[in-house]
Structure 1
Amino acid sequence: MTKADIVIENARVLTMNPEAPRAGAVAIAGARILAVGGHDEMTALKGPDTRVIDAGGATVMPGMVEAHLHLFAGAFGMRLLQLDGVHGLPALRDRVRAYADDNPDEALLICKATDYNLFGNGVQTTRQMLDEVLADRPVLYIAGDHHTAWANTIALDKAGLLHGREMPTGNEVVMADDGTAAGELREHAAYDPVMALRSSGGREGLGLAGIEPEHVTPEQREEDIAVLKEGLAYCASFGFTKLHNMDGNRYQLDLLREIEARGELICRVEVPFHLTPDKPVDSLEEASALADDFDGDKLSARRVKMFMDGVVDSSTAVMVEDYADRPGWRGEPLHDAERFAAACIEADKRGLQISVHAIGDGAVRRVLDGYEAAQKANGKRDSRHRIEHIEVLHPDDLPRFAELGVVASMQPPHPPAAMDFPLEPWISRVGEARWPWAFPVQYLRDAGVPIAFASDWPVSDVNPMRGVKAAITRKPWKDGHPGHASTLMEALHDYSTGGAYAGFDEGRFGMLKDGMLADIVIMDRDLESAPVDTLDEARAALTLCGGAVTWEG
């Protein structure tokens, strides 16, 4: 009889297996689950070298799947100044000037998690306000959603943006009445010129645009590997065993392969080919090449990522009807309908999964149109094409998700006031009439649409238990409106089994069952008996990926 390498006992096991949803112990041999059952059943599986782990009555469940994150940007961002909860000139000045003193040689000071209401509710942040914080060194303040940034005057001037610049569709240098830049930069193309001022040449955004870096020195390569390793370790500390990266390039995949060769790839990682609006459809040949070259157990590249719009807060999300606070404006899609349909048809024909950022209901509709065009052209298959975010959905489009087999990739931390994001300007720009169909998790769930939960780190905190709490405590913004809250089991399912399904991995992990890969997390408490208001304090006590311990608190 095969003996177990590890036995986890005295556990409240949530298997996510509908045939046997609960157990008291799990046995592991090598990379796979040997048995799931009760304490007595495990006795015969223990040998002299078996490691026995007493879970102390805590929850044991499948390893978490982070179904939407930006690994390098999130990891690098931990090294930058975080402005979570910072508001007003005095507090901002204290934080930024101290950061400047600590980084005297940095050509650009980058601040993350900047609130849209930095200087007060409804107050538009301007370069002049930021000059009062620090005027003699370039500073860039990036919003939590990473779709808007603000720069002081010296940064705008050095970047050649002070007097404006023509931008690609969906990007904007906001101009003031005096004909100079106001300080607000909407979307990446608008603030990339400022990012380029950084001493590193903007490497903190590595992979976001899907472009291969030039002239990488051996020292930079090792530093980039160090950043990725820090991100992997941080994710493993929360119980993640699989990461769906939402940006990337071959360089990033090469770094991860090198990490794997060193025996240090502690999370499974999937990296997409980023089809930006300026890349021709025939560049999908590169996507197929990546899929062929990276198709391993722990590292893969079988997906295409696109953006259809921006975000509501900067009015760059695409709506079916006008913005409530801006009559006549509905946003501009980043891909025209014909090009997007052609891209979907080609990617689908190549057998690649597609995931598209779509925030507004107009963007969601265009993505669904593209997926429908692919299905008509190539025939129906188990494609599991995804839509990322779905912050607003038009009621007419709900049935199309199930009809087309689309996966809804949702982020419980994103609804305003659910976790860290303020109500304004989001709710006013969307308008009350659309609130019931905002972040419509319950409508999608009731329609039988597969759901995967995630954080979009570094846009929001990667901690899945903060996301779980946000999902189950979500409240409507008006009495009588749906709250779209989840139960604890629904949220845990969508952070584990749902993510596995979204990545075509449900036959390998995402469930605790004999023969499945031993991707498992032992939490530090019994999640079912923990008070709801303490769920965000829960952490992984131990994480295993393929039977190997990747985190032990």
Structure 2
Amino acid sequence: MSIKADLIIENANIFTSDANKPHAEALAIKGNRIVFVGANEDVGQYKDTSTRVINGMGHTITPGFIDSHFHLLWGSISMGGAQLYEVKGFDDLQATLQSFEKENKTSEWVEGRGIKYNIISGRDELDKIIPDRPVYINAYDGHTSWANTKALEMAGILQPGVDAPGNGVIVRDENGMATGELRETAMNMVSDLIPEPSEARKRELLISTIKKINATGVTSVHNMNGEMEEMMFYAALEDTGELNLRVYVPYWVKPETTEEMLKEAAEMMKIQGEFARGGAAKFFMDGVWESYTALNVDPYADDPEAKPDGIYSLEHFTRMAALCDKMGLQIFVHCCGDGAVRRVLDGYEAVQRSNGKRDSRHRVEHIEVIHPDDIPRFTQLGVLPSMQTSHAPFSMSEGDVWPTRVGEKRWPLSFAWRNMKEAGNNIAFGSDWPVAPYDPMINLHVGLNREKWNPTDPDQTLSLEELIIGYTRDAAYAEFKENEKGQIKEGYLADVVLFSHDLFALDPKEILTAKPTMTIVDGKIVFEA
């Protein structure tokens, strides 16, 4: 007698991400597992009077999307501030911040998140908007912020003579006064003054945000900043059944991290819940192009005098990475510049020589620019690329500062998804939320339709199949879970998304018209339109 399913979806166009059975019409779920994938005429044996049967109406079903680069708690907390992602100019910024100020009268600070570069230059403009309360706003990429005079005074950095720690920069005018622009670790000199929300408020923001994330078809994330405290926050939600998102949490290794401190990463690795688990370490090798903190092989195109060094020397990175590797940790490293990518690959190569080669699946995150000599090194070293399509400026008409910083000579290997794919790499895709929207459809859209900045540039776009596989099967492989999820396959976890359209019948330029209508996590419907 066959198993009787709790849920069946039939008459669908199922893209399984399973190379051995790429397409199907129906699936059946029992508990938290997929028990059948196949034809409509064969799924009937799994039906019972208690089985919920859904007509897929020919629409696409995919495995749940796995976002391979995410900042879950940080992003959720930022949802409590003013949202500046859609701000187009100073007037927009003024209206948004003043509206937030009126709605949050009891809060000492006015803070916001998501502003684009070139909209504001410093404290004078923020003083015009709100002069009598401290104001702190963060760029969309999280690597530059702006503060008003009140906030700079409170931090004690308005006047000359104070430097930022590490790779931070307090931008100053010709008289040495802080302009209000703060880069990298200089941001902490102000942001550390802002009171953290209560634990109850964090929990409220996190649960609310997870519901919104589920509504876009995301069922798992690889969290890119963490420590035991954050891990336990997720584990507590899992214990109460409120964590409807699988979260892989690395330990954030900072320049000041010691070998003794890595014991926390080892403790996190022991936590292996169905939803919250450890087992990785995260490094930052450089900053970002926009703030002149990306580590490059050649100088910046628009400012050759800007010569940032990496956050780690090669020796320092290799030493710490070797310790992590010896512990059995997977390693993720933020690298925007081609110099950062090269230094990390050099470090991974040195680690293999010292520790021996194993199935480590160490990763390089972002890879916004890569030198052609370094593309084949990924497959040679067994290193995985993790990339975010929506980081790429969609077209030159957007007026983004990124292409100017990089310069035309580097455009052909900027966001080089096609080059990386053709070199034999399986790319894990994600969003880097809250740097970019978490909605996978936006990332699919950019990956499918991004315009060339120069007609002679190579076409770096990918097919819909390649993008979905990168968001599912390859993303699961990038966290050692390829035998559990990332495919619609019998015995796999029931993390599934049903869409409003047949994605493969749409013109690629119309992909944004499609939305999830149902998201299933662990066999449970967590979103239904």
Q: What's the TM-score, normalizing by structure 1?
A: 0.92
Do the aligned residues in 2 keep the contact of 1:89 with 1:133 (CA within 8 Å)? no
- Equivalent position to 2:455, from 479, 482, 493: 479
Q: Counterpart of 1:272 in 2: which secondary structure?
A: strand
In structure 1, what is the equivalent of residue 127 of structure 2?
A: 131
Equivalent position amino acid for 1:195 in 2: S
Residue correspondences, number: 527
- Equivalent position to 2:145, from 144, 149, 158: 149
Alignment of structure 1 residues 339-354 onto 2, 5 Å: 339-354=316-331
Q: Counterpart of 1:271 in 2: which secondary structure?
A: strand
- Equivalent position to 1:281, from 235, 253, 259: 259
User: Following TM superposition, by how much is the alpha carbon of 1:96 offset from its aligned partner in structure 2, in angstroms?
Assistant: 1.7
In structure 2, what is the equivalent of residue 212 of structure 1?
A: none
Alignment of structure 1 residues 89-488 onto 2, 5 Å: 89-119=90-120, 125-164=121-160, 165-187=162-184, 189-198=185-194, 201-203=195-197, 220-292=198-270, 294-417=271-394, 422-488=398-464
In structure 2, what is the equivalent of residue 214 of structure 1?
A: none
Equivalent position amino acid for 1:265 in 2: L
Q: Counterpart of 2:376 in 1: which secondary structure?
A: helix
Are residue 14 (structure 1) and residue 11 (structure 2) matched? no
Q: Deviations over 1:205-231 (max 9, x none)?
A: xxxxxxxxxxxxxxx222222222122
Do the aligned residues in 2 keep the contact of 1:393 with 1:437 (CA within 8 Å)? yes
Equivalent position amino acid for 1:528 in 2: F
User: Following TM superposition, by how much is the alpha carbon of 1:339 offset from its aligned partner in structure 2, in angstroms?
Assistant: 1.1
Cα separation, 1, equivalents of 2:235 and 2:20 = 37
User: Following TM superposition, by how much is the alpha carbon of 1:88 offset from its aligned partner in structure 2, in angstroms?
Assistant: 3.4
Equivalent position amino acid for 1:102 in 2: E
Equivalent position amino acid for 1:15 in 2: T
Q: Deviations over 1:100-144 (max 9, x none)?
A: 11111211111211121115xxxxx12112222222221112111
Cα gap change, 1:410/1:172 in structure 2, threshold over 3 Å: closer, same or farther? same
Cα gap change, 1:167/1:193 in structure 2, threshold over 3 Å: closer, same or farther? closer
In structure 2, what is the equivalent of residue 206 of structure 1?
A: none
Do the aligned residues in 2 keep the contact of 1:10 with 1:57 (CA within 8 Å)? yes
Q: Counterpart of 1:542 in 2: which secondary structure?
A: strand
Do the aligned residues in 2 keep the contact of 1:405 with 1:449 (CA within 8 Å)? no
User: Following TM superposition, by how much is the alpha carbon of 1:422 offset from its aligned partner in structure 2, in angstroms?
Assistant: 4.5
Do the aligned residues in 2 keep the contact of 1:406 with 1:450 (CA within 8 Å)? no
Q: Please report the RMSD computed on the Cα atoms of aligned residues, expressed in angstroms.
A: 1.6
Do the aligned residues in 1 keep the contact of 2:279 with 2:329 (CA within 8 Å)? yes
Cα separation, 2, equivalents of 1:172 and 1:423 = 25
Are residue 54 (structure 1) and residue 55 (structure 2) matched? yes
Cα separation, 2, equivalents of 1:193 and 1:501 = 39
Cα separation, 1, equivalents of 2:407 and 2:165 = 27
Cα separation, 2, equivalents of 1:227 and 1:95 = 20
Do the aligned residues in 1 keep the contact of 2:395 with 2:452 (CA within 8 Å)? no
Q: Deviations over 1:14-36 (max 9, x none)?
A: 01111111111001122211111
Q: Deviations over 1:333-378 (max 9, x none)?
A: 1111111001111111111100000100111111111111111111
Cα gap change, 1:508/1:438 in structure 2, threshold over 3 Å: closer, same or farther? same
Cα separation, 2, equivalents of 1:94 and 1:345 = 50
- Equivalent position to 1:548, from 514, 518, 524: 524
Q: Counterpart of 2:117 in 1: which secondary structure?
A: coil
Equivalent position amino acid for 1:143 in 2: A
Equivalent position amino acid for 1:181 in 2: A
Q: Deviations over 1:27-51 (max 9, x none)?
A: 1122211111111101111112111
Cα gap change, 1:448/1:261 in structure 2, threshold over 3 Å: closer, same or farther? same
User: Following TM superposition, by how much is the alpha carbon of 1:532 offset from its aligned partner in structure 2, in angstroms?
Assistant: 2.7
Do the aligned residues in 1 keep the contact of 2:115 with 2:139 (CA within 8 Å)? yes
In structure 1, what is the equivalent of residue 87 of structure 2?
A: 86
Cα separation, 2, equivalents of 1:391 and 1:423 = 18
User: Following TM superposition, by how much is the alpha carbon of 1:82 offset from its aligned partner in structure 2, in angstroms?
Assistant: 1.6
Cα separation, 2, equivalents of 1:85 and 1:45 = 47
Do the aligned residues in 1 keep the contact of 2:394 with 2:446 (CA within 8 Å)? no
Q: Counterpart of 1:301 in 2: which secondary structure?
A: strand
Are residue 518 (structure 1) and residue 515 (structure 2) matched? no
Identity of aligned residues (%): 39
Q: Counterpart of 1:149 in 2: which secondary structure?
A: strand
Equivalent position amino acid for 1:70 in 2: H
**Relative to structure 2, which stretch is displaced further, 301-310 or 497-506?**
497-506
Structure 2 unaligned blocks of 5 or more: none
Cα gap change, 1:181/1:408 in structure 2, threshold over 3 Å: closer, same or farther? same
Equivalent position amino acid for 1:302 in 2: G
Cα separation, 2, equivalents of 1:532 and 1:254 = 41
Structure 1 unaligned blocks of 5 or more: 120-124, 204-219
Equivalent position amino acid for 2:389 in 1: P
Equivalent position amino acid for 1:166 in 2: D
Q: Deviations over 1:234-264 (max 9, x none)?
A: 2211111111111112111112111111111
- Equivalent position to 2:507, from 527, 531, 537: 531
Do the aligned residues in 1 keep the contact of 2:227 with 2:265 (CA within 8 Å)? no
